[in-house]
A and B are shown apart, each in its own frame.
Chain A
Amino acid sequence: MTYWQDIWDRWQFLWDDRGDGVTYWQWMFSAWGYTVAVAAVSLVVALAIGCLVGTLRTVSQHRVVSALATGWVELFRNIPVLVQLFLWFFVISEIVPGMRGVPSFVLACCALGFFTSARIAEQVRAGIQALPRGQRQAALAMGFTQLQAYRYVILPQTFRIIIPPLTSEAMNIVKNSSVAFAVSIPELISFAMQTQEETSRGIEVYLAATVLYIITALAISWFMSILEKRARVPGLSSQGQGAH
């Protein structure tokens, strides 16, 4: 029994007060909340920009627009995310007027969101280009404008194709949100590092953080599989390809 008793005792620190009336237990959940919040806001930013930029890359009539979109992707995809975060934090917020007072939460979401937007843009572009060429022609032939062809024909099919890669992007963004500790956002990793310093319970602290990351990932995967099921079209193969 002493063995189990020992293990039980090792986790007791979670109920300890960290010194300001907040227990480590409460701190951990607020940190988890920050992780989820940074990831969720970044994902919204990444999806919005990624869909727009990925779509623009396929608009061949406007060379300048598609070149700009390509530039966006190359820029934000090829700089390491931690470097991007520091650029936002130390460079952009210093030299761009009006950015000074912007909270680090917002800067972290910009950094993570823009980084991921480049990756999502690539998936959107690949998804659009995987559709049969005739779909766009059929839409235009019916009298749709370019914009309508995207809105009603191309993008709805693209989203069905890219749900699997979007799932892994959503999971990546949760993992990547851990870089936010570097700009003092009190998320899970920052909680783990500080708590292990204060309590010397490294094993327990990182174990707990790991479990919370896993729970988050499982929740995403569960949510996306529901989304995939709801978006499934009868008679269409799972890749969402056309009829030929």
Chain B
Amino acid sequence: MIEMKNVSKWYGATQVLNDCSLNIDKGEVVVVCGPSGSGKSTLIKTINALEPVQKGEIWVDGVAVHDRATNLPKLRSRVGMVFQHFELFPHLTVTDNLTIAQMKVLGRGQDEAKQRGLKMLERVGLTAHKDKFPGQLSGGQQQRVAIARALSMDPIVMLFDEPTSALDPEMVGEVLDVMVGLAAEGMTMMVVTHEMGFARKVSNRVIFMDVGGHILEDTSKDEFFGNIEARQPRTREFLNKILPH
């Protein structure tokens, strides 16, 4: 579904992605973790070309993302993305947030878009808030709306960039629950997160990135958590910091 081949990216002279290759199959859930500044956000944003790359190839469902001729809006409309800071459109109601791209990008009619959007809102448990504005919702609620917004576009894959790290601790659970549900339904997901509980529970694979934009590890979940002795020193150091002892 997603294939990345030898991708490198620089900001000026600093390299932020260093020869990254990975593969995500349909239905797989892949967690990406690593220290701050290691390039996790950059990596995940190359998949829908929010971050262009200078070297390498990126394929999403057979579409060459790295190709200049590719119709990026069309590709992006099929790739859902959830951001750390939610990025709901604050001047639009929840319902309008859910429908605007369906109508303007996919060309759906208002009724169809609304029906689809409200169905997704129901699935994240926020139907009661459909007429509110994002600023009137809690962080956890906003993030659930953001997930519903991405889902109403019927994406073939969902990308999450630290979806819970801007949330108060008591709201992390409600967002993770939605994501667990998605994974259970077979959605292809790439998730940048430090929620190792989530990784243990639902991921198939874990990718560890280290500073300089290296993919240091790319292993199955069981190997990653079950065989800590076999991990790279940098990975062990990182896990020691974030895992409860």
Please give me the residue from chain A that is nearest to B76 by CB atom.
A143
Please give me the residue from chain A that is nearest to B85 by CB atom.
A244
Residues of A within 8 A of B150 (CB): 142
Q: Mark A122-164, 1 if CB is under 8 A from B, else 0.
A: 0000000000101101111111110010001100110010000
Is A243's CB under 8 angstroms from B104's CB? Answer: no
Contact pick for B83, options A134, A235, A240, CB 8 Å:
A134
Decide yes or no whether A101 CB sits under 8 A from chain B: no
Is B136's CB under 8 angstroms from A234's CB? Answer: yes
Contact residues, B53-93 vs A (CB, 8 A): 72-74, 76-79, 81, 83-91
Bound complex: CA A137 to CA B150 (Å): 13
Is A141's CB under 8 angstroms from B50's CB? Answer: yes
Decide yes or no whether A236 CB sits under 8 A from chain B: yes
Q: Mark A201-244, 1 if CB is under 8 A from B, else 0.
A: 00000000000000000000000000000000111110010111
**How many residues of chain B get a CB closer than 8 Å to chain A's CBs?**
37
Given contacts A134-B87, A153-B89, contact A144 B132 (CB under 8 A): no
Given contacts A137-B83, A140-B50, A143-B73, contact A236 B90 (CB under 8 A): yes
Total A-B residue pairs with C-beta atoms closer than 8 Å?
96
Most A CB within 10 A of own CB, among B78, B79, B135, B139: B135
Is A243's CB under 8 angstroms from B100's CB? Answer: no
Contact residues, B138-182 vs A (CB, 8 A): 139, 142, 149-150, 153, 166
Is B85's CB under 8 angstroms from A160's CB? Answer: no
Decide yes or no whether B117 CB sits under 8 A from chain A: no
Decide yes or no whether B105 CB sits under 8 A from chain A: yes
Is A142's CB under 8 angstroms from B105's CB? Answer: yes
Is A144's CB under 8 angstroms from B134's CB? Answer: no
Residues of B within 8 A of A142 (CB): 76-77, 101, 105, 149-150, 153
Contact pick for A144, options B83, B84, B101, CB 8 Å:
B101
Please give me the residue from chain B that is nearest to A156 by CB atom.
B91
Is B104's CB under 8 angstroms from A148's CB? Answer: yes
- The distance from the CB of B63 to the nearest CB of chain A, in whole angstroms, is 13
Is B90's CB under 8 angstroms from A233's CB? Answer: yes
Residues of A within 8 A of B81 (CB): 138, 141
Is B132's CB under 8 angstroms from A234's CB? Answer: yes
Most B CB within 10 A of own CB, among A141, A160, A244: A141
Is A234's CB under 8 angstroms from B83's CB? Answer: no
Residues of B within 8 A of A145 (CB): 73
Decide yes or no whether B48 CB sits under 8 A from chain A: yes
Is A132's CB under 8 angstroms from B85's CB? Answer: yes
Is A242's CB under 8 angstroms from B85's CB? Answer: yes
Beyond the given pairs A234-B135, A235-B134, 9 more chain A to chain B contacts, judged by CB atoms under 8 angstroms and listed by A's residue number, are A138-B87, A138-B89, A142-B149, A143-B153, A148-B105, A153-B89, A157-B91, A233-B135, A243-B135
Binding site for A on B (CB under 8 A): 45, 48, 50, 72-74, 76-79, 81, 83-91, 100-101, 104-106, 132-137, 139, 142, 149-150, 153, 166
